[in-house]
Amino acid sequence: MGDVQEQATEERTANAAARSASSASSASRPQLGIQVGHQAVASPGGPPKMYRRRTGRAVAGVAGGLADHLGVKVLWVRATFAVLAAFGGVGLLAYGLLWAFVPQQSRDEPPTVESAKERQQAYGLLALGIGLTVAGGAITGMLSGWVGLPVAVALVGAAVVWREADESQRRRWRDGARSGVAGAVLGGGGWSAAVRVLSGVALVMTGIGVVVLRGSSFHQVQLALISVLATLVGVAVLTIPFWLRLVRDLGDERRARIRTEERAEIAAHLHDSVLQTLALIQKQSESPREVARLARGQERQLRTWLYGPSGYGAPKQPDGEGHGTPGTLSEAIAGICGQVEDAFAISVEQVVVGEAELDESLTALVHAARESIVNAAKHAGVEEVSVYAEVEPTSVTVFVRDRGKGFDPDAVPEDRHGLSDSIRGRMERNGGSCRLRTAPGEGTEIQLAMPRKAMAKTAQGAT
Amino acid sequence: MTEDKRTRGPVTVFLVDDHALFRAGARTELESITDEVRVVGEAGSVAEAVAGIARTRPQVVLLDVHMPDGGGAEVLRRVRPEQPDVVFLALSVSDAAEDVIAVIRAGARGYVTKTISSRELVRAVVRVADGDAVFSPRLAGFVLDAFADRPGAEPISDPDLDLLTPRERDVLRLLARGYAYKEIASELFISVKTVETHVSSVLRKTQLSNRYELSRWASDRRLV
């Protein structure tokens, strides 16, 4: 084998010319057999590797690959195969062997462009090749006339299945082996792939069936079928451990890769967020307020990332409602609470029950709630504010409460606009209402209620 | 609230957390603040916890939710059949709905997050030791959300068991709004003891509920 490889390496250029010349004129069977063996065996080792074309191919890319390898026009290679097909199907045999043994190009290779004319010629030559095989077979008497057709049919069927297998392997590479055993057969190509495989199988069966039926009596056929079936079952049973191991290895490999990716993602995220914040905290260690602010902001971010609706821990939902969009009430409220936490270095505990899509009036509600939280942060003199929002079928209520100083509502000077304009005014303009419960020393609670406009959204929000 | 009525000695507490540093911190905090609580043991894994709880027979187990081999729910499952009178208080850095609902359904008497102040933690420990439930506002929100009758929800299979009474719902709402038990009592014109009864029955319903609503809700909503 080593000799053959070396030989192939050294003689490549000389061979190429000689081969094209010889095969074009008159190629005898043994000579071609050697050549085929050459290519197939030499391809995995030596530098001048031969690959089947991945793009710009008519059947399996064999002729294209050979043409690339030899540096001749693909048309000539195809024509050679077609002509050789006349001699007892040698062309077809050679093609099939090359198809089986020569690996396909990796997908990083630049695609081969093929003109429509070349493609048309390819199909023409393909038909010619099959025709010549049949004709050649009929003339030489190697295949009597009635056998030729079914054999051709069976060959076409085999070609269809092989080609599909090629395709499915390509899909598997592309999808990163995400499919199981069924995927290995159908390659995730869906119905069309299944139809192609099945029709290929049907063609092969028909071809073989016709040959067998014509050649023998029905009884013998039955016997033959049974023995073939028994053999197949035996092979299947014997190879079960092998298949299981294959499936398990695939699964293991897949899991390992997913774990590695996850670890990398978490590491990247921790680097971006937590480590940066810790570095900042070290620099700011004299200012407890600033440290608390940084830590709180970081905790919130990390929490959202880990457990949040669109975060890392959430199941991937490409079409999920509210996924990744700031369009829902809970996300909007989490957003404003975070802003106030950052701006005023207090902690805002928020609880949201139910969910609703944001619309104009709910946006107003969120703005009013924000103003209320800001008021509490500024005036109550506390470290913590509670926000509770509940979505009910007919209305949305938000409570903002603190256990701070409280105040006497009647004693608020007329020129203070925060409560009257930003909160009460905003709520009332949008059809909502605002109630205030406070007394000096007892903390403050602002209750904001907004009726819901679209009842139809309730069901959607509920799921 | 209730600690005045207690006549026995300090509440014995067992710490379960896979971070030794956190255990050490919690132990120091719990024992330095007050003599109402005494830490009798600690464990860093599920197996250690099961063995340690059987050995020390504490009144309260402070239980971490996330641990390498099964987590707090696993400890609950293995200890509760043999020692039904040990009370569990979940203490976790996570406030994801799934975690909260899982340990509550496994039989924890309360759930607090690690951001809780030490004094509040002591109060919570004493309260669960007395048979009350401890609900953080967030936990109350989860339960409300899980039990809410909303259009499109599954039909209720067993109304006696599954539905929260309007009163319980009121109590939960106020809890979710950040009210203390005492404040809820004065708000609803009932006694603190009644508030505690309501909260306990909510907890019981949560544990006994055969509605798959809770877990389904938790996975559907992924609410924090």
pTM above 0.80, yes or no: no
Question: Could you tell me if A98 and A42 are in contact, meaning their C-beta atoms sit under 8 angstroms apart?
Answer: no
Contact A349 B137 (CB under 8 A): yes
Question: Could you tell me if A82 and A132 are in contact, meaning their C-beta atoms sit under 8 angstroms apart?
Answer: yes
User: DSSP string spanning A343-364?
Assistant: HH--EEEEEEES--B--HHHHH
| CATH 3.40.50.2300 is the classification of domain B11-146 | yes
Strand partners, A446: A400, A436
- The Cα–Cα gap between A77 and A318 comes to 48
Partner residue facing B178 (CB), from A303, A304, A388: A388
**Percentage of chain A exceeding pLDDT 70:** 68
Residue A311: its pLDDT value, please? 57
pLDDT bucket at A216, cuts 50 / 70 / 90? low
Looking at beta carbons, which residues of chain B come within 8 Å of A330?
Answer: 223
Q: What number is the average pLDDT over the span B74-100?
A: 82
Task: For an interface test with B, give the residue of A333, A351, A399 to mutate (most B CBs within 10 A).
Answer: A351
Contact B223 A458 (CB under 8 A): no
- Take residue A159 and report the two structure tokens written for it: 């070609």
Task: For an interface test with A, give the residue of B150, B217, B219, B220 to mutate (most A CBs within 10 A).
Answer: B150
Tens-place pLDDT, residues A359-407: 888 888 998 898 888 888 888 888 888 899 988 888 899 999 888 888 8
Q: What is the least distance, in Å, from the CA of B57 to any CA of chain A?
A: 34
- The Cα–Cα gap between A119 and A111 comes to 15
CATH of domain A327-451: 3.30.565.10
Tens-place pLDDT, residues A164-213: 666 666 665 555 544 444 555 554 556 777 787 788 888 878 877 777 66
pLDDT bucket at A437, cuts 50 / 70 / 90? confident
Say how many CA atoms lie within 13 Å of A2 toward its Cβ.
0
CA angle B95/B97/B100 to nearest 5° reads: 70
Its CATH architecture, for the domain B159-221, is Orthogonal Bundle (1.10)
CATH 3.30.565.10-classified regions of chain A: 327-451
Query: What count of other Cβ atoms lies within 10 Å of the Cβ of residue A353?
Result: 24
Contact B224 A390 (CB under 8 A): no
Partner residue facing A307 (CB), from B96, B144, B152: B96
Residue A313: its pLDDT value, please? 55
| Residues 178 through 197 of chain B touching chain A, CB cutoff 8 Å | 178
User: DSSP string spanning A388-405?
Assistant: EEEE-SSEEEEEEEE-S-
Instruction: Please check whether residue A303 touches B, CB under 8 A.
Output: yes
Residue B112: its pLDDT value, please? 84
State yes or no: pLDDT of A241 exceeds 70: yes
- The Cα–Cα gap between B17 and B52 comes to 13
- Show me where the domains of chain B are located: 11-146, 159-221
The interaxial angle of helices B20-33 and B118-129, nearest 10 deg, is 80
Residue B189: its pLDDT value, please? 92
Tens-place pLDDT, residues A336-362: 888 888 888 788 888 888 888 888 888
State yes or no: pLDDT of B223 exceeds 70: no
Contact B141 A309 (CB under 8 A): no
Q: What number is the average pLDDT over the span B136-157?
A: 65
Contact A386 B145 (CB under 8 A): no
Residue A398: its pLDDT value, please? 92
State yes or no: pLDDT of B29 exceeds 50: yes
Task: For an interface test with B, give the residue of A304, A346, A350, A353 to mutate (most B CBs within 10 A).
Answer: A353
Pairing between β-strand A444-451 and β-strand A433-438 as defined by DSSP bridges: antiparallel
DSSP state of A89: T
- Average pLDDT score, chain A: 72
ipTM: 0.73
Distance of CA B144 to the CA centre of its chain: 15
pLDDT bucket at A145, cuts 50 / 70 / 90? low
pLDDT bucket at B14, cuts 50 / 70 / 90? very high
pLDDT bucket at A53, cuts 50 / 70 / 90? confident
Residue A8: its pLDDT value, please? 44
Tens-place pLDDT, residues A287-308: 888 888 888 888 888 877 777 6
